[in-house]
Chains A and B, each alone.
Chain A
Amino acid sequence: MTQQLDLSDIQGNVIKAYGRYNFQKARYLFLRIDDGEKGRKFIGAITTKVTSALPWGKPGDGSAPPIPQATTNVAFTFNGLQALEIPTASQRGFPEDFIMGMAKRKDILGDDGPSDPANWDKVWKEKVHVWISINGQSIDAVKKRYDWIQEQIEASNGGVVLLTGHRGEKGEDSLPYQDASVLYDATGMPVPKEHFGYTDGIGDPVFEGQTNVAARVLGRGKLMRDGTWLPLATGEFLLGHVDEAMEYPKTAPSPWLLAHNGTFMVYRKLHENVGTFNRFLDEQSQIFDGSKEMLAAKFAGRWRDNGAPVVHAPDDVGKAEWDRRYAAADDAGKKKMLTDFTYNEDIHGAKCPFSAHLRRINPRGSLEFGVSNAYDTPGALVNRRRILRRGLPYGEVKDPARDDGNHGIIFMALNADIQRQFEFVQQQWINYANDFKEGNDKEVLLGNHDANNPGKVVLAAEPGSGKPPHFVSNIPRLVETRGGDYFFIPSITALKLIAGGIVDPT
């Protein structure tokens, strides 16, 4: 099954992680629509600048448009679609999770205590209808596009309002936008890091219809019985396409054109408690049989410095060896070393713990627990739980001993079914572990650990070695939710239908 996607119809952020194309800066805007007619006109204007998924050419070769200085993409909450007055019959096709929105799903997501919507940035108390993203090659390019959008808002004559209430760098809490940016090293070079120091942005699912699939599918598609990898079905990430259950996504709005080539986006502002993380790692590494970096790697499933997968670099010695092989490998070889792995040789989690972020979030074939041919395919329980990640870090760590700055990740996950994909992973695999036979043990980095009843995880030792496993106890809450919502990213055709007020499911 090969399939050609209509890349001119799909919004660019669905197919491309802009960060990989040197878009180092981003700005996210949230708007309210006060007047349907004026709102639609505004969306029509924005649509003229919406970036599609068409491939970009190299500068000067003329074959395809070159990389722009800035991109723009648009998505809506359910309330936003109502404010734009799409017909009730179309509204009814949307799934319950999307209709409710993120705040009302807090009990599923584990957004409690410091992550409770009551503690989110003020903007989330507003009626959020529209999300507009700008990704730029430079902050100037971002600002220029931002100014242009403000002109359109101005021109809407009160029909559209830019919402304020984002927390910012200097303690302000009423910014009209959320900025995000790659991080830079001491010499000012961009680095693929997040604020805890991990290397991020390595693995994203590969699905049918993307370009250059063969080169990228290893460790990123779905794992087959013979050990090969195939791209996932398009319908896992785009509505209007067949998914892994060999059908069109169950809940999609009608008419077909409204759903086709669209998808759902989970937007979450995740604050990182950097001071607590650093203290916790220091303390815990005192009692850990291995280096501090090794322990940090066991939390994530990858080493902080270069992203080496822990399953292939399980301890300090193994890491040194892995690094030697990595240094000797060519570019393609390096990529393969980073992504092409399974947990088959580590069924007991003695190398990469079950509780590691990477293993919890994409267990690859390991939910067969080494029982040969238990399921139809090794990834049977995993292939329908995959998400595309499109986030960037935000803020700056000014004092690595403190939590209270403004620093974290703007996390965006794209999937065809929020409940089945994102919410399932968040609830069942991050904050619970029955599927991993670890009871209620939460993932170290992302779990909503409770200060009054703190959790633990067990880092398994080699079975039969007689060595005790390592217990990581009293885990504090390292990541807190600061806001977010569920959005629908329509195709460009659907955007035009919405803007034209001509959505008609009859």
Chain B
Amino acid sequence: MSNIAGKAYAMNVITPIRWYMTWINKLIFKTALSNPSTLKGLVTLSLIHYARWVIIPRDGFPRLDPSQPKEELNYSYMLFFSNFNGSWDQYVDSFTFAIPSGLDLFWKWNVRYPKSVPLTPFHNYIRHNQIDTAHYYNAYPMASSNDVKSAQKIKKALINFNTASADKPPEEFLNDYNKLLNDMQHHFGDMKPTPIVSLSADAVRKRYLQIPE
């Protein structure tokens, strides 16, 4: 069991919300989506792969099979699902400090939401409602989301460069090549294994891979 795979961490948080309030949250989500500037803090936090908020109505929980009895739930729920690079603390702290009002807006109608500042009650709220990841697969454990974005940009730029400049005379080729380097200069970061996220996670990894202490 681990919430961590390579450079990524998976976080599931599910919080109760009064069913007759969910329309407000849905409205807030809609407004945020149609007005991208409300999400620019989130987008600028480059450790985040993505974050998703979903309302699950109290009678809408999936069942594995029609024979599974329906649950009688008092609340609807808000599922927050995110994948990010780094540790839980780093992520939750970045959230609180970078976009406290955004968090408060999204969680405001959830039961017993404490507000994002001060930090400890918020930490406790998230921890209390977090569901650990039973199984987590990561196809590119060495890549952070920034690494993936950079790789895509470089690949595209190289292909274009090849098409446009491959047959140019040396002088022009060099100019184009330098321009390519300049355009891509923020995408050349090395990709190497992750800094360890926690000593306990690292111990688990080492035991699993049978790396001697």
Q: Is A455 an interface residue (CB 8 A)?
A: yes
B94: which A residues are within 8 A, CB to CB?
380-381
**Known pairs A438-B189, A439-B190, A440-B189; A374 contacts B40 (CB<8 A):** yes
CB atoms of B119 and A376 under 8 A apart: no
A213: which B residues are within 8 A, CB to CB?
none
Max chain B C-beta neighbours (<10 A), residue from A369, A431, A434, A461: A434
A107: which B residues are within 8 A, CB to CB?
196, 199, 202
Shortest distance between the CB of A372 and any CB in chain B (Å): 9
CB atoms of A380 and B190 under 8 A apart: no
CB atoms of A466 and B175 under 8 A apart: yes
**Known pairs A424-B90, A432-B195, A465-B182; A439 contacts B44 (CB<8 A):** no
Q: Is B179 an interface residue (CB 8 A)?
A: yes
CB atoms of B150 and A439 under 8 A apart: yes
Max chain A C-beta neighbours (<10 A), residue from B7, B117, B190, B192: B190
Q: Is A456 an interface residue (CB 8 A)?
A: yes
B34: which A residues are within 8 A, CB to CB?
none
CB atoms of B86 and A384 under 8 A apart: no
A309-330: CB near B (< 8 Å → 1, else 0) gives: 0000000000000000000000
Q: Is A333 an interface residue (CB 8 A)?
A: no
Identity of the chain B residue whose Cβ is nearest the Cβ of A450 in the assembled complex: B192
CB atoms of B189 and A245 under 8 A apart: no
A371 to B46, CA, bound (A): 12
A373 to B41, CA, bound (A): 8
CB atoms of A427 and B195 under 8 A apart: yes
CB atoms of B182 and A468 under 8 A apart: yes
A393 to B44, CA, bound (A): 39
**Known pairs A107-B196, A434-B46, A458-B188; A374 contacts B181 (CB<8 A):** no
- Among B13-21, B98-106, B155-163, the one that faces the other chain is B98-106
A84 to B19, CA, bound (A): 56
**Known pairs A380-B97, A381-B97; A440 contacts B190 (CB<8 A):** yes
Q: Is B135 an interface residue (CB 8 A)?
A: no
CB atoms of A439 and B189 under 8 A apart: yes
CB atoms of A456 and B186 under 8 A apart: no
A371 to B99, CA, bound (A): 14
Shortest distance between the CB of B114 and any CB in chain A (Å): 12
Number of B residues contacting the other chain (C-beta, 8 Å)?
Answer: 44
CB atoms of A455 and B182 under 8 A apart: no
Number of A residues contacting the other chain (C-beta, 8 Å)?
Answer: 51
Identity of the chain B residue whose Cβ is nearest the Cβ of A460 in the assembled complex: B185
A105 to B199, CA, bound (A): 8
Shortest distance between the CB of B209 and any CB in chain A (Å): 15
CB atoms of A435 and B47 under 8 A apart: yes
Identity of the chain A residue whose Cβ is nearest the Cβ of B44 in the assembled complex: A374
A464 to B179, CA, bound (A): 8
Q: Is A292 an interface residue (CB 8 A)?
A: no
CB atoms of B191 and A469 under 8 A apart: no
Contact of A469 among B46, B118, B182, B196 (CB under 8 A): B182
Q: Is B138 an interface residue (CB 8 A)?
A: no
A245: which B residues are within 8 A, CB to CB?
96-97, 117-120
Q: Is B25 an interface residue (CB 8 A)?
A: no
CB atoms of A468 and B117 under 8 A apart: no
A469 to B120, CA, bound (A): 43
Contact of A246 among B44, B117, B178, B193 (CB under 8 A): B117
B156-177: CB near A (< 8 Å → 1, else 0) gives: 0000000000000000000101
Max chain A C-beta neighbours (<10 A), residue from B181, B185, B193: B185
Q: Is B85 an interface residue (CB 8 A)?
A: yes
CB atoms of A437 and B186 under 8 A apart: yes
Contact of B182 among A105, A376, A456, A464 (CB under 8 A): A464
A455 to B189, CA, bound (A): 10
Shortest distance between the CB of A435 and any CB in chain B (Å): 7
CB atoms of B40 and A381 under 8 A apart: no
A226 to B93, CA, bound (A): 23
Interface pairs A-B: 4 shortest CB-CB: A439-B189, A245-B119, A247-B118, A440-B192
Known pairs A380-B98, A428-B90. 8 more at Cβ < 8 A?
Answer: A110-B195, A244-B97, A368-B44, A439-B146, A439-B147, A440-B191, A466-B178, A471-B188
